[in-house]
Structure formats: structure tokens, C-alpha cells
Chain A
Amino acid sequence: MRAILAPLKVLAHTVPTSVGIAVVTFLLVQLAPGDAVDVFAGESGAATAETMAGLRRALGLDLPLLDRLLAHLSGLVRFDFGCSIRYNAPVASLVAERLPSTLALMGCALALALVVGILLGTLMACTAGSWLDRGLSAVILFFYSVPGFWIGLMSIVFFAVRLGVLPTGGMETIGGDFSGPGDALLDRLRHMVLPTVSMALFFIAIYARLMRSSTLQVLGLDHVRVAAAKGLPRWVVVRRHVLRNALLPVTTMAGVHIGAMLGGAIVIETVFSWPGLGRLAYEALMSRDFKILLAILFLSSILVMFTNALVDLLQLWLDPRIRRRR
């Protein structure tokens, strides 16, 4: 019973939150000066006040703020994000086209960051004070402080331009002649390596540092000594009695980072010309195509809430003590 109730409770929190997010993002976007018609006029070089007013009327941009907000909300309830002015296509299909590539990039980057970060952090904690620990700490501090776009650019220069082993950008080789689906997949994977790693490095640094301190803390607890007194070798003690206890703070942070990763995706997607949501959002903002922007903002917040709910459930599983408190 409790196993069913817990996820439901977690989901129940998300409904009012998403309504709030829809309203706030809508109002925030209205604060940006100018609208799509201004951009059109600017790009076409000349436009009369009448044509602009006509365009606004046709697009519904002249309606009062409250009417537009209500139209926006009622659309969201029906999962209807409207039509893009710029691309002259339904926003939903534009977003759906870009979503998988961004999710793939984020998912891989997050998974890589978690696995490597947790491993490095545990290794550093178990060898705390040694040269290995100090060396790794220095490397990690470097990746923690260097911006992702610089790492991206430098990795392009080194791996793509100098060594020529990986592509400079994009998601696949354009006009590539593949003998089978395996080759096509391999080509995609090759394109993913640099953006994924560039995006992950910063988060690897965060998780490794976090994992190191939380592992050190757990290593000092009584039950770890008890486990050693049972005769378990050190690596078994760490795997069974330290890791799970030390993971809690890391999972909390990882949940928070989903949002940060979406933001970071814009930069990485631009550097690697990765056709994802981040770049779509950027282009929509520059052309004041608010419907796309709102749809992306809304989807991202849903994604963040969804992953946070997942993290909550993961923590319920990790720590039995939380189960009782609920």
C-alpha cells in the first residue's frame, strides 16, 4: 500500500507547481521588449504601422494580457502549444523533433557524471591524504572551475582538428553512406562523445567532491568499524556499508542539477551545433517566438519536477529511515 501511495503523493505535489510555473514563465516572457512582429519588421527592412497592426491582430498579439494568459493555459491543459510564428509549424512537432537529441545528450552526460563522479569520489575518500587523492583533487578542481564551453572548444581543437579522431559537431555525418544500422548508430555515438564529455566534466567534478566528503563522513561511522570487525575486507565494507549511506547527498544534488543541465545544454549545443532544445530555445528567444519558448520552458520544468520526484522515490529506496517519516 505504502509503495503505491508514496509515488502518488509525490505526483500530487507536481500539479499545483506546474500551474504556477506556466503562469510565471508566461508573465516573465512578456517582460522582454518587443514581439515577433517587431523582429519581422526589422528583418524585412521596412513595414508600415498598418501591416504590423494587422499582423498582430492576425496572430492574437493585440489581445489583453489576461486573455492571452488564459488562452495559453487552456492550450496547455490540452497539450496544445499552438503554432510557431517563425517556423510556421505546430510548436509541439518542432519540440518533439528536438527533444530526443537533448534528452540523449543530457541523459548520457548525467549518467557519465554520476558513474565517474561516484567512483572517483569513493576512490579519493578511501585513499584520503595520499598522492592519488591530491592529484585527483587538483584535476577535479580544474574541471570544476573551467567553463564548459571552453572545454568544448578545446576538445574540438584537440580531438577533432588536431587528431581528427572525432567529428567537430552535429549529430550525424551529413550524407554519410552507411552499410547498416550498426554503422549509423556508431556514427551517432561518435558525434556524441565530445558534447557529452564536455557537459559531464563539470558535474563529474561536483559529484566527485560531494561523494568524497560524504564517503569520508560515513567511513568514520561506528557501523563501518563493526563491519570491519566482522572480518569483511575493506572493499566489501565500502561497497556494502559505505556506498549506499554516502549516496544520499549525491542523489539530492543530481536531482537539482537536471535544471542546471538544461541551461548548460544551450551552451554545449551551440558549441557543437547539436540540434537540440537548447538551441531551439535560444533561436526562439532571439526571434521573440514566445510560443516555442513557453513550450520549452514548460516542458523543462515538468522534466525537472519529474526527475525530482524520481529522486525522492530513489531516496525512499536508499534510506529506510525516510520511509517511516512519511
Chain B
Amino acid sequence: MTRAPLLLVDGLSVAFPTATPVRDVGFTVGEGETVALVGESGSGKSLVASSLLRLLPAGGRIVGGAVRFEGTDVTRSTEAELTHLRGRRIAMVFQEPATALDPVMTIGRQVAEVIEWHEGASRRAARARAIELLDLVRLPDPSRRVDSYPHELSGGQRQRVMIAMAIACRPKLVVADEPTTALDVTIQAQVLELLDRLRRELSMGVLLISHDLGVVGQWADRVVVLYAGRKLEELPAERLFDGARHPYTRGLLAASPRPSALGADGLLTEIPGQIDGADRLPGCPFSPRCALARPSCDDRMPDLVAVGPEHTVACPVAPRGGIADAVAVGR
């Protein structure tokens, strides 16, 4: 009998008045583990992340399933309970460091604010802690930078401040929603390195949301693939590049800009079609774009079936084999 995971998302569905962009998504994050949520724009990965803190955009509602964090169902928490959960037990790092910080407040105050609120620290003590945290995230010259405003920092530095804010109260889980998408490549690696180092030092769980398979394969322990609000596949990250089974995952891999992804004509392969409207299909949402689709795929959503250790796939026709076949599927 293994211990209950830190975070257990089970059958989560999120609905808006006109659509249900997340349907029946489940996964777990263990203590000190990095789990990646992968999918293209519109796959619902950010909505899943927002659901964990119950911070869905206006009109969005959790209509089914449970989000168990340390044994408590977050979907049933009161607003007062949530304020103690947010920022203290579960923290979030957002995609756009340019707009995620309050432009008219010093970064030191923004970091200190979390500590003051959750730990009741005095202003002076919180400021001292903020300087320590800025040092921990390797912001240069933290005792001077603590009084800077966000516009005085570069994008990478702002993301470091965001991370300092997130880890200020030593949360058990950090949800990083595309933390490096807005940064250039060299800074990306630094920020991910930082997140990973903090994960090890503070033994936090990390839910990494990304559309970058290279990033995911390098930094995550497990990968959950979402498409149009459905979970299609879950597998260990080290098996991602040669063990992925779902036609969609393989298509994504084939479309990643790596030498092996180039087709015979030297062009990058792509998955034909688009994701629009796929969340309204009764069957597999990927079937309209899938080269292997059968008529039965459209009848009902295939069940997730275990095909290996920690590896489940929701596709009855998923082929076996290496990445070479995946290129064939993608074309």
C-alpha cells in the first residue's frame, strides 16, 4: 500500500456556459515529484491548473470530479479555507512575467506580502525574508533590488521574482503554468534549473504545464497528455520519446523541431487539422485528425488502458513501436 499522493485529481470536469473545455481529467502528483501537463493551446491545461486553486476565469465552474490535496477536497473548500491554501500550500507561477507583477508595487513588497499574510510576520521581518528569497532565486544584488519596481527588471529576473513569491511560504506544491514560454531559450533553461533545484531543496511537488516536449522530457518525472480537455496518455518522461503510444502524442513528438522530426522533404511535420470544436465530440476528440481513426473511435471516449509501468493510453488502436512509426502517423 503506497502513501496517498500529495495531489490527486480525479475525473475533473470544468464547464463554461457554452462549453465543457475540461472533461474527466485525472492524475496525481507525489511529494517532490515533477509532473508535466502537456497539450497545445486550447487543450485545457491552464484550466486544470486554475482549478487546483479554484481560480477559474469568470463563468467557469468545476462540474465534476475531485481535487484532493493532502487529503482535502479543494472543490468543496470554502473561500476562507482557500485563502489559506493558496500561496501557502499550493503556489502558482504564471506564464507572463511581464504582466504578472503589480506594476506600482516594489518587488520586495510583493514577495513580503505573502509572508506577512500567511505567517503574520512583521513588515521588517518579511522584508528580510524577501531579500533572502530573492537571493535564493539568484536575483543579483537582492538587498538593493528589493526596492525595484517590476519595469526595472528583465523578463528572466521577473520570473525569478515570481518564483520567489511562489516559494515564500514553502508550499508543498508549485503549479508552474508555462513558466518559460515568454522567455528566451537561455533564460528558459536557467529558470527551469532554478525550479528544479528548489523542488529538490524544499521537496515540493511541481506541476509543470507546458507545450514544449523538449522541456517536459528533460525536467519532468511523468507526463500527462491532454487534448481538447481529455487526457489521452500518461507515461514516464524518460519513455516519452521512444515509448509514446497515442497517435496524438506521437504526432506532437514528430512535430517537435528536432532533426529526427524532419520529413523526407526536409520540412517540419505537422498534425493536419485543428483542435477547434473537438471538445464537443462524443468520442475520441483527436479522431478527426487521426490517421489511424476507425468509425468506432467516434462512438465513445476510449478508456484509459494500462500498457506498461505507469503508462496508460486512451486509444484502442495505439500502435507499438518507436518514434520512426510516429513520423509515419503524423504525416
A residues near B, CB below 8 A? 221-223, 225-233, 236, 240-241, 244-245, 318-321, 324
State which of A228, A318, A319, A324 has its C-beta within 8 Å of the C-beta of B55: A228
Given A231-B87, A232-B83, A320-B151, the answer on whether A225 and B94 have CB atoms closer than 8 Å is yes
Contacts of A318 in B (CB 8 A): 104
* Stretch of B112-120, B201-209, B288-296, B302-310 that contacts chain A: B112-120
Contacts of B94 in A (CB 8 A): 222, 225-226, 229
B254 at the interface (CB under 8 A from A): no
| Residue B91 interfacial (CB < 8 Å) | yes
A66 to B: closest C-beta gap in Å: 51
- Give the number of residues in B that approach A within 8 Å (Cβ atoms): 30
B84 part of interface (Cβ distance < 8 Å):
yes
Given A231-B87, A232-B83, A236-B117, the answer on whether A223 and B55 have CB atoms closer than 8 Å is: no
Q: Which 7 A-B pairs have the closest CB atoms?
A: A231-B87, A231-B86, A230-B87, A222-B99, A320-B149, A229-B92, A223-B102
Interface residues of B (CB under 8 A from A): 53, 55, 79, 82-88, 91-92, 94, 96, 99-105, 113-114, 117-118, 149, 151-152, 162, 165
- Given A228-B55, A229-B55, A232-B113, also A319-B103 (CB < 8 A): yes
Q: For B151, what are the chain A residues with a Cβ–Cβ distance below 8 Å?
A: 320-321, 324
Q: Is the CB of A229 within 8 A of B53?
A: yes
Given A231-B117, A233-B83, A324-B151: 7 more A-B contacts, CB < 8 Å? A226-B101, A231-B84, A231-B87, A231-B114, A245-B104, A318-B104, A321-B151
Pick from A226, A231, A241, A324: contact of B85, CB under 8 Å = A231
Q: Please name 18 pairs of A and B residues whose Cβ atoms are closer than 8 Å in the assembled complex, sorted by A.
A: A222-B96, A226-B92, A226-B94, A226-B162, A228-B86, A229-B55, A229-B92, A230-B86, A231-B82, A231-B88, A232-B117, A233-B79, A240-B105, A319-B103, A320-B104, A321-B104, A321-B149, A321-B151
Residue of B nearest to A243 (CB): B104
**CB of B289 to closest CB in A, whole Å:** 32
| Other-chain contact of A241, B55, B79, B96, B102 (Cβ < 8 Å) | B102
Query: Residues of A contacting B100 with CB < 8 Å?
Result: 222-223, 225-226
A229 to B113 CA separation, bound complex (whole angstroms): 12
Please determine whether A245 and B114 come into contact, CB atoms closer than 8 angstroms: no
For B171, the closest partner residue in chain A by CB is A231
On chain A, the residues within 8 Å of B53 by CB distance are 229
Q: Contact: A241 with B88, CB < 8 Å? A: no
| Chain B residues in 8 Å Cβ range of A320 | 103-104, 149, 151
Chain A hits for B84, CB < 8 A = 231
Which residue of A222, A229, A244, A319 is within 8 Å of B87 (Cβ)? A229
Report the nearest B residue to A232, measured CB to CB: B117
In the assembly, what is the distance between CA of A155 and CA of B131, in Å? Answer: 57
* Distance between Cα atoms of A230 and B277 in the complex (Å): 34
Interchain CA distance A244-B149 in the complex, whole Å: 14
Cβ 8 A contact of B117, one of A222, A226, A230, A321: A230
A222 contact set on B, CB distance < 8 A: 94, 96, 99-100
Bound state CA distance, A148 and B105, in angstroms? 39
Q: Which of B88, B99, B104 has the most CB of A within 10 A?
A: B104
A245 touching B113 in the complex, CB below 8 Å, given contacts A225-B94, A229-B91, A230-B87: no
Chain B residue nearest to A226 (CB atoms) is B100
A227 contacts B103, C-beta separation under 8 Å:
no
How many Å lie between the Cα of A227 and that of B165 in the bound state?
10
